[in-house]
Amino acid sequence: MDKRLYIAYGSNLNVEQMTYRCPTAKVYGKGILKGYHLLFKGRPDNAYLTIEPKVNREVPVVIWDLKPEDEISLDRYEGYPSFYYKEDVPVELETGGVVEAMVYIMTNKIKDRINLNLPSEYYLNAVSEGYEEFGFDLKYLEEAIELSKIKKN
């Protein structure tokens, strides 16, 4: 396979970081991942985004067109297969079509990574920059932060 579509919802929304990690990746389009919501999971003040199924919820995403070397680079970055696993899911494009694309979802294999917690300021800033770059509503990140605060207490 010479290319693969990939769904980004966290720090890989940040074009500068993706350009560094995956120099040949190209933005395929924006979309909505329906039936999922965002959560921050990990250690206190060092949590990362993941998605989990949730009825009547959605997550704004960017779909990247990857070459095999980009996917290998992302596998290393995402800690695949220990930290995140990959799943192919349908995603609705901003243009109205639907495509099947790969997404990384956090595993429950690493015990200190399964708890809801807050992200580092650095990570949150990187994700927020991506949200702003693509014109996404920050409410999705704010909701994930609020969920982490509620579950943490």
Is 148 annotated as ligand-binding? Answer: no
Distance CA 67, CA 44 (A): 34
Rg (CA), the chain: 15
Is 28 annotated as ligand-binding? Answer: no
Distance CA 134, CA 52 (A): 22
Is 7 annotated as ligand-binding? Answer: yes
Tell me which of 16, 71, 78, 129 is the catalytic residue: 78
Distance CA 44, CA 25 (A): 32
Distance CA 11, CA 83 (A): 15
Reply yes or no on whether 52 is catalytic.
Answer: no
Task: State in Å, rounded, how far the first CA of the chain is from the last one.
Answer: 46
Summarize the annotated binding site as residue ranges: 6-11, 123
Q: Residues at the annotated binding site for substrate? A: 6-11, 123
Name the residues annotated as catalytic. 78
